[in-house]
């Protein structure tokens, strides 16, 4: 069963048909820091802090397209580096 879209259905516009006509979420890029397309974000933690943000295509076990490493000082985020 497919999604019925209309001009006023903004949620429908976020999907596009897959090969088997089942809607799939579009991949997108955030900005210049992560310009590659991705469909999954995996967060890594050290204690309560997010220390890595890994962008992937093909789900959690898919291909990594970018990784951001977050650094903290005194509990404050001080830098973000792309690897």
pLDDT in tens, the chain (83 residues): 444 444 444 554 555 555 555 555 555 555 667 888 889 999 999 999 999 999 999 999 999 999 999 999 998 999 989 98
Q: For residue 56, give the nearest of 32, 39, 31, 34 by alpha carbon.
A: 39
pLDDT of 34: 82
| pTM of the predicted model as reported, rounded to 2 decimal places | 0.63
pLDDT of 42: 95
Q: Give residues with Cβ within 8 angstroms of 73, minimum separation 6.
A: none
């Amino acid at each position: 069963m497919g999604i019925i879209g209309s001009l006023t259905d903004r949620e429908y516009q976020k999907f596009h048909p897959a090969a088997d006509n089942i809607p799939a979420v579009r991949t997108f890029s955030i900005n210049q820091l992560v310009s590659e397309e991705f469909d999954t974000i995996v967060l890594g933690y050290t204690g309560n802090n997010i220390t890595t943000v890994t962008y992937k295509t093909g789900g959690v076990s898919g291909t990594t397209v970018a990784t951001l490493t977050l650094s903290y000082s005194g509990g404050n985020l001080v830098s973000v580096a792309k690897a």
